[in-house]
């Protein structure tokens, strides 16, 4: 059987503000995972439109599998329609298909609703017999017996972070703006591989660096601690995503650092506590964000902070206040988003009921555009503030101010090199990507991450952090900047084989 698997390009990856490096970070791991279920004699290839031009006109497979995200839906449907016109069976699944299966079904022969571990192998058997159904709904949730990811199908040289991995599905939390609950409806919404299977997959990865694309790697403490115990002493350096409450959990962060954690994506999301209650982000309520940053710095872990603008409690001053707080905390990199009501989420249902959603042009549901009626500011103020936050946080002056919060000279230079290298040297990244050599930068990333991990002077770092302390649940007034005192704020998506984390970090500006 001949199979073509396609990850269509996100709309923002084809626009005039396209930053190539953002879309050459992670390979299409979800598709490579599905490919693991195919037979050894099947002919299969994976095309990622973010890193290579598709040549589909003469492609005549028996089966094409397309994975749409919301802002690649239009492109996905164009590809699907073209294949179907040539008599090719088209299968579609993932976040957007699960949210709007009827819309996707108009362009596909088969759609998958929810995760595919239970339905995909059933479909393959039925397809080979000529009995494929139009729709498959996931109900059984388990990662037991998962076949190895077909990493041989991934063109490693095209990606900065080829060693991406997912060892769990979903998240234990239920944030109102997150895709996760819709995607996992009808079964468990958070489950993990066995520790032995996860460690075996890690052992198959070459080199030192690993990037966990799990929505919340620390979400199951027993699993996480066993995983970290198995990784300790292997020499790995790795990055992952976690929540503020998991960072504050006694002893857990220390075990992660001992196993090689050097950078953590943390969903702070908002500096207004009322927003947290409205969006049901209970794991952040009452948490001291400055303490989260201090704890990560004390352990030598770099922070990639996520913030969402446009919640109902936000007013036009939220952008400057958020950037100022992040800079004063010495956060190395930040990802900003305009709140986006994705179909299938609680946020979408609430806004639709209040007639606040202005259109369904999925190309613009990219967390860069306002697609609803804000409460505390105009749409123009929201979009302008979003872009201003990025400009201000990544100005050389702000990068230097953030670096200067670090006590040791090597930490200041590392901050400058990491934040500046990510945002200020796009021509270099572009050259590496165009020449197919972006992986050549991986040793630099490994070296930078490996240099983290030593414990800092806790007293000095706490002193720096407390200059702009914000304790969410009760205010901590700063004598120099009383306007920073007050209350705050996961990621806006959850998903299939880490697709949510992948989408969120690709749409924003990930580490």
Distance CA 43, CA 463 (A): 59
Q: What is the pLDDT of residue 284?
A: 52
Which three-class secondary structure state does DSSP give residue 135?
Answer: strand
Distance CA 223, CA 194 (A): 8
Task: Output the CA–CA distances (angstroms, integers) from residue 440 to 129, 208, 446, 449, in the order listed.
Answer: 45, 14, 11, 16
Average predicted confidence (pLDDT) for the chain: 83
Q: What is the pLDDT of residue 507?
A: 37
Nearest Cα neighbor of 458 from 320, 294, 329 is 294
Tell me: pLDDT of 90 over 80: yes
Residue 363 lies in a domain: yes
Tell me: pLDDT of 69 over 50: yes
Say which CATH number the domain at 76 has.
3.40.50.280
Residues 163, 76 share a domain = no
Q: What's the average model confidence in pLDDT over 461-473?
A: 37
**Residue appearing with tokens 């930490």:** 411
Residues 59, 122 share a domain = yes
Residue 193 has what DSSP assignment?
-
For residue 150, the tally of other CB atoms under 10 A from its CB is: 18
Which structure tokens are listed for 215? 């929505």
Residue 116 lies in a domain: yes
Residues 125, 155 share a domain = no
End-to-end CA distance of the chain: 39
- With beta carbons less than 8 A apart as the criterion, state whether 310 and 337 touch: no
Which structure tokens are listed for 436? 């197919």
- % of the chain with per-residue pLDDT over 70: 82
Q: What's the average model confidence in pLDDT over 437-442?
A: 73
Q: What is the pLDDT of residue 31?
A: 97
Tell me: pLDDT of 7 over 80: yes
Q: Give pLDDT tens digits for 15-60.
A: 665 566 777 889 999 999 999 999 999 999 999 999 888 888 889 9
Say which CATH number the domain at 473 has.
3.20.20.70
What are 187's strand-pairing partners? Answer: none
Which of 107, 137, 167 is the last residue in one of the domains?
137
Residue 143 lies in a domain: no
**CA within 13 Å, CB half, 83:** 29
Q: What is the pLDDT of residue 16?
A: 61
Residues 189, 232 share a domain = yes
Nearest Cα neighbor of 110 from 194, 179, 34 is 34
Residue 145 lies in a domain: no
Residues 442, 324 share a domain = yes
Residue 146 lies in a domain: no
Domain that holds residue 62: 2-137
Which of 99, 114, 137 is the last residue in one of the domains?
137
Residues 123, 241 share a domain = no
Nearest Cα neighbor of 259 from 202, 308, 313 is 202
Distance CA 347, CA 98 (A): 16
Q: What is the pLDDT of residue 129?
A: 98
Q: Give pLDDT tens digits for 173-232.
A: 777 777 777 788 888 888 999 999 999 999 999 989 999 999 999 999 999 999 999 999
Q: What's the average model confidence in pLDDT over 163-182?
A: 84
Residues 162, 79 share a domain = no
Q: Give pLDDT tens digits for 351-371.
A: 999 999 999 999 999 999 999
Tell me: pLDDT of 452 over 70: no
Residues 179, 99 share a domain = no
Residue 441 lies in a domain: yes
Tell me: pLDDT of 477 over 60: no
Instruction: Flag the least confident range among 183-192, 426-435, 471-480, 496-505.
Output: 471-480
Residue 349 lies in a domain: yes
Is the model more confident about 291 or about 13? 291
Residues 159, 105 share a domain = no
Which of 87, 104, 137 is the last residue in one of the domains?
137
Residue 144 lies in a domain: no
Instruction: Flag the least confident range among 275-284, 298-307, 344-353.
Output: 275-284
Phi and psi (nearest 5°) for 298? -60, -30
Which three-class secondary structure state does DSSP give residue 169?
Answer: strand
For residue 335, the tally of other CB atoms under 10 A from its CB is: 22
Residues 110, 158 share a domain = no
Our count of domains for the chain comes to 2
Q: What is the pLDDT of residue 217?
A: 95
pTM of the model: 0.85
Tell me: pLDDT of 397 over 50: yes
Q: Give pLDDT tens digits for 243-284.
A: 988 999 999 999 999 999 999 999 888 877 666 455 444 445
Is the model more confident about 267 or about 85? 85
Residues 410, 360 share a domain = yes
Q: What's the average model confidence in pLDDT over 98-113?
A: 97
Residues 311, 185 share a domain = yes
């Amino acid at each position: 059987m001949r199979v073509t698997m396609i990850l269509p390009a996100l709309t923002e990856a084809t626009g005039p503000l396209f930053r190539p490096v953002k879309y050459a970070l992670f390979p299409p791991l979800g598709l490579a995972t599905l490919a693991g279920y195919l037979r050894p004699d099947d002919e299969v290839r994976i095309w990622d439109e973010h890193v290579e031009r598709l040549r589909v006109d003469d492609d005549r497979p028996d089966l094409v599998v397309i994975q749409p995200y919301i802002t690649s839906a239009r492109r996905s449907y164009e590809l699907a329609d073209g294949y179907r016109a040539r008599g090719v069976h088209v299968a579609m699944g993932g976040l957007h298909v699960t949210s709007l299966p009827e819309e996707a079904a108009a362009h596909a022969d088969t759609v998958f609703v929810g995760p595919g571990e239970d339905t995909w192998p059933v479909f393959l058997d039925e397809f080979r017999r000529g009995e494929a159904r139009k729709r498959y709904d996931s109900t059984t949730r388990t990662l037991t017996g998962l076949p190895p990811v077909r990493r041989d199908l991934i063109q490693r040289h095209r990606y900065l972070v080829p060693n991406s991995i997912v060892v769990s599905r979903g998240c234990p939390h239920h944030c109102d703006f997150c895709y996760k609950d819709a995607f996992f409806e009808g079964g468990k919404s958070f489950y993990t591989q066995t520790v032995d299977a996860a460690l075996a997959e890690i052992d198959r990865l070459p080199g030192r660096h690993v990037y966990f694309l799990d929505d919340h790697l620390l979400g199951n403490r027993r699993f996480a601690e066993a995983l970290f115990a198995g990784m300790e002493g292997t020499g790995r350096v790795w990055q992952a995503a976690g929540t503020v409450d998991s960072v504050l959990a006694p002893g857990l962060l220390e075990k992660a650092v001992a196993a090689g954690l050097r950078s953590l994506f943390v969903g702070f999301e908002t500096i207004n506590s009322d927003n947290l209650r409205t969006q049901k982000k209970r794991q952040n309520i009452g948490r001291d964000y400055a303490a989260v940053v201090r704890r990560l710095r004390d352990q030598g872990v770099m922070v990639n902070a996520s913030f969402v603008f446009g919640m109902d409690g936000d007013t036009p001053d939220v952008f400057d206040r958020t950037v100022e707080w992040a800079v004063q905390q010495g956060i190395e990199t930040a990802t900003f988003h305009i709140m986006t009501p994705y179909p299938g989420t609680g946020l979408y249902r609430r806004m639709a009921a209040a007639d606040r959603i202005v259109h369904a042009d999925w190309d613009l549901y990219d967390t860069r555009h306002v697609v609803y009626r804000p409460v505390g500011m105009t749409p123009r103020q929201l979009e302008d503030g979003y872009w201003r936050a990025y400009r201000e946080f990544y100005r050389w002056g702000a990068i230097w101010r953030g670096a200067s919060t670090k006590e040791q000279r090597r930490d200041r230079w590392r901050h400058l090199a990491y934040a500046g290298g990510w945002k200020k040297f796009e021509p270099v990244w572009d050259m590496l990507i165009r020449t197919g050599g972006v992986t050549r930068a991986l040793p630099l990333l490994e070296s930078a991450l490996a240099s983290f991990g030593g414990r800092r002077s806790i007293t000095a770092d706490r002193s720096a952090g407390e200059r702009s302390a914000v304790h969410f649940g009760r205010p901590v007034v700063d004598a120099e900047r009383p306007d920073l005192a007050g209350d705050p704020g996961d990621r806006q998506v959850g998903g299939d084989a880490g697709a949510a984390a992948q989408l969120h970090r690709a749409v924003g500006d990930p580490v």
